Amino acid sequence: MGKARLTVFGLSSMEMEAIQLSLRVALWGVAWSLPLAVSVAWLLARGRFPGKILLDGLVHLPLVLPPVAVGYVLLVMFGRHGAIGAWLFEEFHIEIAFTWRGAAIAAAIMAFPLMVRAIRLSLETVDRKLESAARTLGAGPADVFLSITLPLIVPGIITGVILAFARSLGEFGATITFVSNIPGQTRTLPLAIYTLIQAPGGEETAMRLVLISVAVALVALALSELLARRAAARLEA
């Protein structure tokens, strides 16, 4: 996606910035949370341990909490003086609050329950007899997970990733609370639309960004459908 090509559509640099930032935030958010989501989904689908209900509730919390509340909790934890934020800054000089990284974290957390849910559902449909067959053929538990379970849940992972990606693109409340609305840093598409609507004479541009949002979402959904179909076809061929 070259800059030159996008400018052909007559997009201002501010608009392009918002689009690129949104994509970056959503992609990183999804990429970083995916391994964790697979692990948590596995624990919830297969694990038997005390506190499982608690973990289940915790994972689903962002789905039911007001996004502003999530954003505030993140600010308290990851702010310069927050427990995690201070440590990250001291040890690695990484700033989270008020940066695009923070936006990615906010997006990832808000999208996490959707991703876990899709992967967990798919894990629960995996025929465990196939896994025991793999054990008798010489594969250890980790090997079985990588060579049998994981390939079988690929359609579920794709669904989860796309849901999370779409949710991340639309993330607003937690983002604006946690990382504010800084042009080029944290002003994603929804925040840009919000800003434009607030300013006089911005409605036209806002509408254009809304249409762009629709286009990005449609492309993402179509892509996911295509990938999921191909994965399913590979499993059933």
Partner 1 sequence: MTPPLLDIDVSHATGGFSLDISLNISGQSAISGITALFGRSGSGKTSLINLMAGLARPDRGRIALGSRVLFDSERGIDLPPEQRRMGYVFQETRLFPHLDVRGNLGYGMKRRGRNGQLASFDHVVGLLDLEYLLNRHPDSLSGGEKQRVAIGRALLSNPELLLLDEPLASLDATHKNEILPFLERLRDDPGIPIIYVSHSMEEIVRLADVMVLISEGRVLANGNVEDLLSRLDLRPLTGRFEAGSVIAATLIGHEKKFGLSRLSFAGGELLAPMVDLPLGTPLRVRIRARDVTLATRKPTAVAAQNIYRGTIVQMETDTSSRTEALLDIGVPLWARLSAKSAQELKLAVGTRAYAMIKSVAIDGHSLGRQRVIGGASSE
Using CB under 8 A, list all residues that contact partner 1: 127, 129-130, 132-140, 143, 147-148, 151-152, 234-237
Closer residue to partner 1 in complex, CB, 80/234:
234
Closer residue to partner 1 in complex, CB, 88/139:
139
Cβ at position 30, least distance to partner 1 in Å: 23
Q: How far is CA 96 from CA 3, 120, 237, in A?
A: 27, 30, 46
Cβ at position 217, least distance to partner 1 in Å: 30
Token pair listed for 114:
């959707």
Closer residue to partner 1 in complex, CB, 147/185:
147
Cβ at position 117, least distance to partner 1 in Å: 23
Closer residue to partner 1 in complex, CB, 63/146:
146
Token pair listed for 38:
């697979």
Cβ at position 114, least distance to partner 1 in Å: 25
What number of other Cβ atoms are within 10 A of residue 30's Cβ? 25
The residue behind tokens 């689903």 is: 60
Closer residue to partner 1 in complex, CB, 40/148:
148
**Do residues 75 and 186 lie in contact, with contact meaning Cβ atoms separated by under 8 Å?**
no
Cβ at position 136, least distance to partner 1 in Å: 4
**Do residues 102 and 179 lie in contact, with contact meaning Cβ atoms separated by under 8 Å?**
yes
Kindly tell me the burial class for residue 211, based on how many C-beta atoms sit within 10 Å of its own C-beta (0-12, 13-18, 19 or more): exposed
Give rounded-to-5 percent helix, strand, coil for the chain.
80, 0, 20
Cβ at position 48, least distance to partner 1 in Å: 16
**Do residues 113 and 59 lie in contact, with contact meaning Cβ atoms separated by under 8 Å?**
yes
Closer residue to partner 1 in complex, CB, 52/135:
135
